Structure 1
Amino acid sequence: MIQPLVFKFGGASIKDAASIINIAQLVKKRWTNGLVLVVSAAGNTTDRLEQLIELSLENKRFDRQLLELLTYHEDLCRGLFSPGHAIFSRVDNHFAQLHRLLETPSLKTEEGFFYDQIIGYGELISTRILQEYLCETGNPCIWQDARELVRTDSTTRMARVDWALTMQHCRRILIPKLEKFPVVTQGFIGTDLLGNTTTLGREGSDFTAAILGVSLGASAVTIWKDVAGILNGDPDIFPDAVKFDYLDFEEAAEMTYYGAKVIHPKTIKPLAKHGIPLYVKSFVNPEMAGTVIGSFGQAPRIPITIFKSNLTMINLRIRDLSMVGGFHFEFVYEAAKKANWRIQLIQASGAHLQVVIQDMPLSEEQLARPFREVFHVQIRRQLQMVTVKNPTEAAVKHYRQVAEKCFLEQKTPELVQWIYEPETP
């Protein structure tokens, strides 16, 4: 009985032909039956597909943008394959399907559903290219449609995983294949019970790797990035940022929740529950140790600084003063659940409640409507949050000076957070 191993590669790792050649060499050194490669869309394909979706919904022409995206993928293939290779017709077929979907009026009646049917084509195409190239270079492997594996509910843009069905499908479909060959599949996409394509949220390929790792009982999951591992701060902001050799699951989960972008926030929990270690390594320098996330108990108290942008703060002031102190947090959380908000922070006082969420494509009136009967509502948008875990006195002093337009501060012995309006350039 094999014990699978899951590798995940993001868009930056396969952005051009040279990058795909590099990944093929990396994988070849680690080639084994039981290997599952979870792959994102190439380069900025997802962003460009979102642009196509927007144009289509606005009934604007998108032929030029679609041709540019096709040309990008054809150029990528030309750097890997000889003319006349079957991959060119495969890519053309995918783009023909994509074109038909973009022009189907009946799909546009529900924007979220339309989005889900279109956006995963980046992953479908990139995995075809990588799988064909691996086979071409002497590493035979199988292409697998992730929609046959990952089963979800019908929530658009951020579907919830049906773990029981997903585990069943993974073991029935994947295990027999993995006993013979490695498998290449897509991140980010799944299928609901009606057979419609669903998505797991932007950057959801990390989560897919965790889903497959847990479903298959993998020995480990490795996320290959363009960084050496997980650092205690953004190296573009902190040149002296320190790499963690190891992190406890809890510490890593908190970092992703507060906005660290190295790992998708939903990735940690299922791996922690099943005790599957997560490695974060560099595809640029694959022999480097990277960072391993696992059950290590108390980790060293190194200050960690995380920035998160594009936040909205909803200030709620009670209308009926007889209810002062009687806040019902379940009221806020129920509203957030219905609207699919992602709450970042809540702070309460006697007559006030402040809720910070990731910004949503909604008007201020739409955001305020669930609360107007009980509260006076004020909304501030385009805010930034800085979180310092294990803060030092110097860090606290520094960010208090930086966040001059600070609207909210929250502090515990292990954590300090500020919500503020960033300076305009």
Structure 2
Amino acid sequence: MVQPFVFKFGGASVKDAPAFQHVANILKSRWKNGLVVVVSASGDTTDHLERIIEKAYGEATYDTELADLESYHQAICASLFPADHGIFSQVANSFSQLKRKLGSDLRTEGKAFLYDQTIVFGELISTRILQEYLCMNGLFCVWQDARELIATDSTHKMGKVDWVLTMQRCRKYLSPKLEDYPVITQGFMGSDWLGNTTTLGREGSDFTAAILAVSLGAKSVSIWKDVAGILNGDPDLFPDAIKFDHLDFEEAAEMTYFGTKVIHPKTIKPLAKQKIPLYVKSFVNPDLPGTVIGSFEDHPKIPITIIKSKQVWITFRVRDLSKVGGFHYEEIFKTAKSFNWNINLLQSSAVTIHLVIDQPEQMPDPLPKQLLETFHVQKTENLRLVTVKNYDDTHEATYRNESKEVYLTEKSPNTLQMLLR
């Protein structure tokens, strides 16, 4: 059985006709049986589809937006294919299917269900275009619907992977194809046991690549980005940021947890468990070495700075002092889970718990009655959370001097976090 290589290309890599051509050039010099290519929706297609779905759910008109999105994809095809190529009818048929689904009674199943059944058309169309273009240029490959491979539960917009069933499907449906041809498939999507489409969460295509790599026992995963590799800081904020040549799985996992956006947070864990190396490569300059994430005991301990804006600080102070110490943590975490809060910092004392979370789409007001009966609650919005791994004393002093207000400071031997105005 062939041991696969998994490549993943994001939306920027297939945003227009020249980008598709560039992907083909990258693949041409790396073409081999056993290659799995995971592709996202073209450009900002997912953002446009989200707005269309919102209108469809609210029974507002969206015909113009849908027509514009179809024209965008047809224009890409017009620059890549001869006028009589079958891809034009394939794209038109996909948009006809999408329009039927948006206008159907799927709305009665809820917005999340409608979202999952329709948002995936971006990936389905982009992968059809790429597969047809590669074949037209002599790079023969197979198109594979990822929903036949990745099994999840029925949690829409954030499906939980059934790893055992996914591995069985990959070995049954995908492995035999890889013996003869490379395979083009989609990121971000799966299906539940009823056959309904599910999604893995926004930016979930990186995770798809990891799922397929683990399920197939891949040799490596390569994620092609518009950066040279992983840096120790956002280059827009830190012009002198340093690129890592190699990075340990644990260090990379912590970086994604604290907010580094180069790699999807769920991607690292399954690869680390199976010791499958992850390469972050430059889509712009594909011959550059990039960064490899793997098992490296000697990885460099240089400072890594991550800054997250739009943070909300919530303070829970116990009302009944007889409950001081170990009081009702479960109520706070139950609330956080029910509203899908992403907790970036937690700090507690005998009478108070501080949470720092990403600004949610909608902050519940008021909070659940049981929580308010137990705690006095205060919240402050529009803050910045600075996280420095492998920090030294100069980092805390620098941010204290630069900021008008420092609300919280949390330090461990390796990590400094500061909540700032």
Rounded to whole Å, the distance in 2 between the matches of 1:370 and 1:236 is: 44
Rounded to whole Å, the distance in 1 between the matches of 2:307 and 2:65 is: 33
Match of 2:149 in 1: 149
Rounded to whole Å, the distance in 1 between the matches of 2:369 and 2:362 is: 11
The letter of the residue matching 2:207 is F
Rounded to whole Å, the distance in 1 between the matches of 2:382 and 2:205 is: 27
Rounded to whole Å, the distance in 1 between the matches of 2:247 and 2:45 is: 32
Tell whether the 8 Å contact from 1:403 to 1:418 is kept in structure 2 after alignment: no
SS in 2 for 1:326: coil
The letter of the residue matching 1:94 is S
TM-score of the two chains, using structure 2 as the length reference: 0.96
Rounded to whole Å, the distance in 2 between the matches of 1:257 and 1:134 is: 36
Tell whether the 8 Å contact from 1:40 to 1:186 is kept in structure 2 after alignment: yes
Match of 1:214 in 2: 214
Match of 1:196 in 2: 196
Tell whether the 8 Å contact from 2:106 to 2:113 is kept in structure 1 after alignment: no
SS in 2 for 1:365: coil
- When structure 1 is superposed on structure 2, of 292-301 and 140-149 the one drifting more is 292-301
What is the Cα deviation at residue 404 of structure 1?
2.3
The letter of the residue matching 1:69 is L
What is the Cα deviation at residue 57 of structure 1?
2.2
SS in 2 for 1:203: coil
What is the Cα deviation at residue 382 of structure 1?
3.4
SS in 2 for 1:373: helix
In the TM superposition, what whole-angstrom CA distance separates every residue of 1:178-197 from its partner, at most 9, and x where no partner exists?
A: 00100000000010111111
TM-score of the two chains, using structure 1 as the length reference: 0.95
**Pair 1:77-2:77 in alignment:** yes
The letter of the residue matching 2:306 is I
Match of 1:378 in 2: 378
What is the Cα deviation at residue 205 of structure 1?
0.2
The letter of the residue matching 1:413 is P
Rounded to whole Å, the distance in 2 between the matches of 1:66 and 1:51 is: 10
Rounded to whole Å, the distance in 1 between the matches of 2:357 and 2:103 is: 34
What is the Cα deviation at residue 174 of structure 1?
0.3
What is the Cα deviation at residue 60 of structure 1?
1.5
Query: Which residues of structure 2 form unaligned runs of 5+?
Result: none
The count of residues paired between Structure 1 and Structure 2 equals 421
The letter of the residue matching 1:397 is A
What is the Cα deviation at residue 42 of structure 1?
0.6
Structure 2 vs 1, CA of residues 91 and 360 (structure 1 numbering), >3 Å: closer, same or farther?
same
Structure 2 vs 1, CA of residues 260 and 71 (structure 1 numbering), >3 Å: closer, same or farther?
same
Tell whether the 8 Å contact from 1:13 to 1:20 is kept in structure 2 after alignment: yes
Structure 2 vs 1, CA of residues 217 and 366 (structure 1 numbering), >3 Å: closer, same or farther?
farther
Tell whether the 8 Å contact from 2:311 to 2:359 is kept in structure 1 after alignment: yes
RMSD across aligned C-alpha pairs, in angstroms? Answer: 1.5
Rounded to whole Å, the distance in 1 between the matches of 2:225 and 2:191 is: 27
Tell whether the 8 Å contact from 1:335 to 1:370 is kept in structure 2 after alignment: no
What is the Cα deviation at residue 340 of structure 1?
3.3
The letter of the residue matching 1:40 is S
Rounded to whole Å, the distance in 2 between the matches of 1:381 and 1:104 is: 39
- When structure 1 is superposed on structure 2, of 127-136 and 335-344 the one drifting more is 335-344
Rounded to whole Å, the distance in 1 between the matches of 2:94 and 2:136 is: 20
Tell whether the 8 Å contact from 2:77 to 2:87 is kept in structure 1 after alignment: yes
What is the Cα deviation at residue 107 of structure 1?
2.3
Rounded to whole Å, the distance in 2 between the matches of 1:243 and 1:23 is: 23
The letter of the residue matching 2:301 is R
Query: Which residues of structure 1 form unaligned runs of 5+?
Result: none
SS in 1 for 2:236: coil
What is the Cα deviation at residue 56 of structure 1?
1.6
Match of 1:17 in 2: 17
1:232-247 map, 5 Å: 232-247=232-247
The letter of the residue matching 2:340 is N
In the TM superposition, what whole-angstrom CA distance separates every residue of 1:47-105 from its partner, at most 9, and x where no partner exists?
A: 11111112222222111111111111111111100112111111111111111122224
Rounded to whole Å, the distance in 2 between the matches of 1:298 and 1:351 is: 42
The letter of the residue matching 1:144 is Q
What is the Cα deviation at residue 5 of structure 1?
0.4
Structure 2 vs 1, CA of residues 360 and 194 (structure 1 numbering), >3 Å: closer, same or farther?
farther
Match of 1:266 in 2: 266
What is the Cα deviation at residue 409 of structure 1?
1.6
1:3-402 map, 5 Å: 3-365=3-365, 367-369=367-369, 371-402=371-402
Structure 2 vs 1, CA of residues 236 and 187 (structure 1 numbering), >3 Å: closer, same or farther?
same
Rounded to whole Å, the distance in 1 between the matches of 2:368 and 2:410 is: 23
Rounded to whole Å, the distance in 2 between the matches of 1:83 and 1:353 is: 64
